[in-house]
A and B are shown apart, each in its own frame.
Chain A
């Protein structure tokens, strides 16, 4: 197990380096520069432009900038935002809880609905339930997030008035946010009504962000269950006279979870990508919105730092998934 972990960790190093190179290259491939963007229509004297680029260190050869970036990274320094002049890491830390809270809720939504629906569709294969679930899943998967979000807002917030339109908390609550997790902070604040208000704000964005993972998980669970149901041990279990529910829940589902777990791990990356759009529609103050702003302002350090941190998180999640296989299925052992 330990060697497996070490080997996996060692593999992270070249992946991480690759990510830094790609991130750096992509960020600098975006045409335009922060100084020109800042000046806008007003324009800027070419001399002054060159001088400002020099002050920001952006006039040096790109490889030199990269090695500088890497060197500072090794010292744990992600640099400072060109716009706000705050430390990139601090900005990320301040915004990340919002993204994480939303992602967790979206994932819970996707799992709680996706797995049972997938099992149901698999067990009742070919039935009307199967077709409905799979049809809905396909629709959900193909739904453009932006459009889906607006549709839900207009219907649930606009027409029915059940949920707030956007944001994390109503403007009437002036609470402190020491943890950055609104559900925890509202509980800590002891302000009556704040916690419920925070939950109400989470509903629509979680649904929107969770829709694609939900669809993927449901489809994966279905096909995985179908495969498992054809196995000998299921036939044996059934022949033993086990209750059908027990056959499915204990024997089939556990075996079917391996590919599903892989997919769930991969969905974490999808969640972060989806968070960018979801956060924009729901005015959710997370890292997605921050990255979009950094792109449009050509705030290179924020962009590089942000992408790098997210990429690292996704890598770590995938590592965790690898380790989880062993727990779910003892046949996969990591002690070779």
Chain B
């Protein structure tokens, strides 16, 4: 009897436990995101693609400062506040206390986040002698943003204060700290991995203070996350987040329709109309933080003559390009920075489409029977969905003013390399902003430094412009910087090293029961705060 009772009790406990577990998993709120590809790794320090930042940077990690959702404004993150010295060279961050690292089956933290984690995260990128420096790959983004030259040293003032000493004043530095490569890793986790002899695991199983904890990954299939229960901003409304890796855009759309996922990345422009008309889908859109443009090689005759650049710009029917190439998902550009960015100079007049005037300008410049090349990018980008088609349209427009252009294209890496060496007379290029700072467009794409060894494919090194953008980067006051950048855009417009063509519109379809999803201007996908209606 006794035995029977015990067995019965055990069985019923087991059954109720199972039921509980089953009901628990049934109630777990799961959001599935159809992403476009597998991440290259899980340590955002090593990579430069949005796919990887979505998978690691935006889920497992936090940064000292963050972009306010939907904007490029900076808000406090792991740093509660910060001071900038008067000379603009010292940044002191006051770190938030009581921030917990994630507890997973592969790591149990024994302490909260502090200055050592910040030191570890930056020193491994900055210091070639750091034992972690060579582990897991290079630091393309950190280097690409010029930080090794900019940061002199990093000082731990106390457990909750960290100070960056810069070699030169640089206002965009703060925005850099909100970028994914500036994610804060756990020093304690790193030490544990080193001790176990598996430092490479840092790039396979991420662990940070962020809103979602890594729970499994199968390449090209899925990435799983659980909500971090002790997240310092509060636990995410959803319990589970799944990235369903789906490389084909049409298939992603099918999955969204079948409710196999609730948010999808990068829709096909051709599907947008159907999405707008689908009652189950909420098609979100936001202006992209990008620019697609045609550069003129200002070192090569006749493009060293500003009149020729203006003439060729006027001959292009941008409106027709927006309609045909962007299929309406773009706006005409007149400045090198997008209108959503602070300091955008709206007073500048768009270059008119005027073939007659263009002919006249060419005549004034003494240019006849011009034959040249238009370089067309071999890849599709949000800022230019079809460069070949765009080049053909420009070619036809130029033909009307007597300019013969041949369309040239190379494999993407080769294309960029040759353009960097100044081989393209005119070429289609583009840029998507990294950190929302105008410097990231105006200096990165148009400075003398970039002409020499960066992304200034117009090879345009123009003293008055250079002075303005260099000075703007040294000031920390935003209103002062705005004035300088506005002037710089005026100089750009007069000199026309590029023909700015378009800023694309970013579309992101979500199921209509998805709440609080916000498109991030920097192009990443972020799921903290997103909820599902019952």
B431 x A41 contact (CB < 8 A): yes
Of A150, A158, A166, chain B has the most CB atoms within 10 Å of the CB of A166
Q: Which single residue of chain B is at the shortest CB-CB distance from A297?
A: B40
Which residues on the B side are within 8 Å of A166 (C-beta)? 246, 251, 254-255, 260
Shortest CB distance A275–B (Å):
12
- Which of B41, B258, B420 touches A84 (beta carbons < 8 Å)? B41
Which positions 41-57 of chain A face chain B at CB distance < 8 Å?
41-48, 52
A86-B204, A91-B219 given. 10 additional CB < 8 A pairs?
A32-B413, A39-B144, A41-B455, A48-B143, A84-B40, A154-B254, A165-B255, A165-B258, A165-B260, A177-B218
Q: Among the listed stretches A168-176, A218-226, A229-237, A328-336, which one makes contact with chain B, having 4 or more residues with CB under 8 Å of it?
A: A168-176
- B257 within 8 Å of A (CB atoms): yes
Which positions 393-432 of chain B face chain A at CB distance < 8 Å?
410-414, 416-417, 420, 429-432
The 3 closest A-B pairs by CB, nearest first: A32-B413, A36-B413, A285-B220
- Which of B220, B244, B412 touches A290 (beta carbons < 8 Å)? B220
- A164 within 8 Å of B (CB atoms): yes
Q: Is the interface of B mostly helix, strand, loop or mixed?
A: mixed
A-B contact pairs, 27 of them (CB 8 A): A36-B414, A40-B416, A41-B429, A42-B140, A43-B420, A43-B450, A43-B454, A46-B453, A83-B40, A86-B200, A95-B219, A150-B251, A153-B251, A154-B254, A161-B258, A165-B255, A166-B246, A166-B254, A167-B244, A167-B246, A171-B30, A171-B222, A171-B242, A174-B215, A174-B224, A281-B251, A285-B220
A171 x B413 contact (CB < 8 A): no
B454 x A45 contact (CB < 8 A): yes
Complexed CA–CA distance, A54 and B40 (Å) = 22
Given contacts A42-B144, A161-B258, A280-B247, contact A168 B221 (CB under 8 A): yes
Q: Which single residue of chain B is at the shortest CB-CB distance from A287?
A: B220
Complexed CA–CA distance, A290 and B219 (Å) = 9
Complexed CA–CA distance, A168 and B260 (Å) = 12
A38 x B140 contact (CB < 8 A): yes
B441-470 Cβ-contact flags toward A at 8 Å (1 or 0): 000100000100111000000000000000
Shortest CB distance A5–B (Å):
37
- B269 within 8 Å of A (CB atoms): no
Complexed CA–CA distance, A44 and B455 (Å) = 8
B251 x A38 contact (CB < 8 A): no
Q: Which single residue of chain A is at the shortest CB-CB distance from B452?
A: A45
- B281 within 8 Å of A (CB atoms): no
- B203 within 8 Å of A (CB atoms): yes
Which residues on the B side are within 8 Å of A157 (C-beta)? 254, 258
Complexed CA–CA distance, A297 and B413 (Å) = 10
A284 x B411 contact (CB < 8 A): no
B242 x A283 contact (CB < 8 A): no
A30 x B411 contact (CB < 8 A): yes
Complexed CA–CA distance, A177 and B247 (Å) = 22
Given contacts A85-B136, A171-B244, contact A283 B30 (CB under 8 A): no
Which positions 140-199 of chain B face chain A at CB distance < 8 Å?
140, 143-144
Which residues on the A side are within 8 Å of B220 (C-beta)? 95, 279, 283-286, 289-290
Given contacts A85-B136, A150-B251, A153-B254, contact A32 B414 (CB under 8 A): yes
- Which of B143, B258, B413 touches A298 (beta carbons < 8 Å)? B413
Given contacts A39-B140, A174-B224, A285-B245, contact A158 B258 (CB under 8 A): yes
Complexed CA–CA distance, A136 and B221 (Å) = 33
A148-188 Cβ-contact flags toward B at 8 Å (1 or 0): 00100110011001001111101110100100000000000
Given contacts A171-B242, A171-B260, contact A285 B429 (CB under 8 A): no
Q: A-side interface residues toward B, CB under 8 Å? A: 30-33, 36-48, 52, 83-86, 91, 94-95, 98, 150, 153-154, 157-158, 161, 164-168, 170-172, 174, 177, 279-286, 289-290, 293, 297-298
Complexed CA–CA distance, A166 and B338 (Å) = 37
- B137 within 8 Å of A (CB atoms): yes
A285 x B219 contact (CB < 8 A): yes
- B138 within 8 Å of A (CB atoms): yes
Shortest CB distance B130–A (Å):
17
Which residues on the A side are within 8 Å of B245 (C-beta)? 283, 285
- Which of A36, A48, A52, A170 touches B260 (beta carbons < 8 Å)? A170
Complexed CA–CA distance, A281 and B253 (Å) = 12
Which residues on the A side are within 8 Å of B260 (C-beta)? 164-167, 170-171
Complexed CA–CA distance, A42 and B140 (Å) = 10
B24-49 Cβ-contact flags toward A at 8 Å (1 or 0): 00000010100001101100000010
Shortest CB distance B493–A (Å):
23
Given contacts A45-B453, A165-B260, contact A285 B218 (CB under 8 A): yes
Shortest CB distance B169–A (Å):
23
Given contacts A157-B254, A165-B258, A289-B220, contact A85 B137 (CB under 8 A): yes
Q: Which single residue of chain A is at the shortest CB-CB distance from B222?
A: A171
Q: Which single residue of chain B is at the shortest CB-CB distance from A164?
A: B260
Complexed CA–CA distance, A88 and B30 (Å) = 33
- Which of A32, A83, A170, A286 touches B411 (beta carbons < 8 Å)? A32
- B250 within 8 Å of A (CB atoms): yes
Which residues on the A side are within 8 Å of B70 (C-beta)? none
Q: Which single residue of chain B is at the shortest CB-CB distance from A32?
A: B413
Which residues on the A side are within 8 Å of B453 (C-beta)? 43, 45-47
Which positions 120-145 of chain B face chain A at CB distance < 8 Å?
136-138, 140, 143-144
Q: Which single residue of chain B is at the shortest CB-CB distance from A95?
A: B219
Which residues on the B side are within 8 Å of A168 (C-beta)? 221
Complexed CA–CA distance, A216 and B422 (Å) = 52
Which residues on the B side are within 8 Å of A290 (C-beta)? 219-220
Which residues on the B side are within 8 Å of A47 (C-beta)? 453
- B109 within 8 Å of A (CB atoms): no
Shortest CB distance A311–B (Å):
21
Which residues on the B side are within 8 Å of A33 (C-beta)? 413
Which residues on the B side are within 8 Å of A289 (C-beta)? 220, 247
Which residues on the A side are within 8 Å of B219 (C-beta)? 91, 94-95, 285, 290
- B304 within 8 Å of A (CB atoms): no
Q: Which single residue of chain B is at the shortest CB-CB distance from A84?
A: B41
- B346 within 8 Å of A (CB atoms): no
Q: Which single residue of chain B is at the shortest CB-CB distance from A166?
A: B251
Which residues on the A side are within 8 Å of B247 (C-beta)? 280, 283, 289
Shortest CB distance B172–A (Å):
15
Shortest CB distance B114–A (Å):
29
Shortest CB distance A248–B (Å):
42
A285 x B221 contact (CB < 8 A): yes
Which residues on the A side are within 8 Å of B354 (C-beta)? none
Which residues on the B side are within 8 Å of A45 (C-beta)? 453-454
B248 x A281 contact (CB < 8 A): yes
Given contacts A33-B413, A85-B137, contact A41 B254 (CB under 8 A): no
B414 x A283 contact (CB < 8 A): no
Which residues on the A side are within 8 Å of B41 (C-beta)? 83-85
Which residues on the A side are within 8 Å of B234 (C-beta)? none
Q: Which single residue of chain B is at the shortest CB-CB distance from A49?
A: B417
- B216 within 8 Å of A (CB atoms): yes
Q: Which single residue of chain B is at the shortest CB-CB distance from A177?
A: B218
A43 x B413 contact (CB < 8 A): no
Q: Which single residue of chain A is at the shortest CB-CB distance from B449?
A: A45
